[in-house]
Amino acid sequence: MRLSALRLRVADPERLARFYTDVLGMTARPQGANWRVGYDGADADLLLMPGGGAYTHDRGQRYWKIGITLPNVDLATDYLRKQGVEVSDPHQFLDIGYMCHLADPEGFVIELLQHDFEGNRPKGAGDAARPFAGARIGQITLRTGDIVAEETRCKALGMRLLSIQEVAPYGFDLHFYAFTDDTQPDPDLWSANNREWLWKRPYTTLEFQHIPGASFVPTPDYRGMEIEGLTEATSDAFSDPLLPG
């Protein structure tokens, strides 16, 4: 099984698909009234569905972002700015990763996360002309106040917990689940030694930003996820759809 798609409702699927192909280096194909965009490989696609158009990012919503993992965030940032895309300055965020953020034309948040920490990137990593070569949709991120409920549901689906990352200055921690038999370099799930390894995985992980006891409202334009290998439609711990991929 694998996470095979994130479903988002948008104002104009075809137009938004062009942003993901022309700017972020994905490929696209129509699927009825929808457009499916993604990178070649085992990671998830984005299924862009009509009917949206009023999305506004809100930290009180359950859905948060996608994360794109790639070899060189600095090259990607330079490239995006030349395309007229507003993007934050790359920085090493604690002992989590070297990253920056942007939004697509409809306001959905995108995190660019480098395979290696600041200062650890191999010389010559990335291609200035094709900075998204080797990129993957590395994370789909949801917010939760009840990680026990999330973990119970993820394990019932057959997902494994790969990493837990404390972000104490901001009052939350991060939990990463995936359909995989991979073994982390360090058996301690809290260890920073697992993080650069995690950002290099070729598949998509399900990331939870956990703020204990917090409540989050549904995001109308988040329409759930597709899971390849799932035999029938079901739901996650908070009733968002999980559909056969």
pLDDT tens figures, 151-165: 999 999 999 999 999
- Residue recorded with tokens 């109308």: 220
From CA 197, how far away is CA 132, in angstroms rounded?
Answer: 19
pLDDT computed for residue 78 by the predictor? 98
Residue numbers in the chain where pLDDT is lower than 50: none
Domain ranges for the chain, please list them.
Answer: 58-244
Q: With pLDDT > 90 as the criterion, what percentage of the chain qualifies?
A: 99
**What is the model's pLDDT at position 155?**
97
Rounded distance between C-alpha atoms, residue 239 and residue 153, angstroms? 11
CA separation, residue 152 to residues 31, 85, 88, 147, 216 (Å)? 33, 39, 35, 8, 19
Task: Output the pLDDT for position 215.
Answer: 97
pLDDT at 156: 97
CA angle 25, 30, 31 (to 5 degrees): 130
Q: According to the model, what pLDDT value does residue 41 have?
A: 93
**pLDDT for residue 173:** 98
Per-residue model confidence (pLDDT) at position 195: 98
195-214 per-position pLDDT tens digit: 999 999 999 999 999 999 99
Nearest one of 141, 181, 138 to 160, comparing CA atoms: 181
Q: What is the CATH architecture of 58-244?
A: Roll (3.10)
With 0-12 CB in 10 A as exposed, 13-18 as middle and 19+ as buried, what is 240?
Answer: middle
Q: Which helix (H) or strand (E) holds 30?
A: strand 27-31
Per-residue pLDDT at 120: 98
Chain segment 217-243, per-residue pLDDT in tens: 999 999 999 999 999 999 999 999 999
The dihedrals phi and psi of 165, each to the nearest 5 degrees, come to -130, 120
Q: What is the b/e burial string over 128-151, where b = at least 16 CB atoms within 10 angstroms of the residue's CB? A: eeebbebbbbbbbbbbbbbbeebb
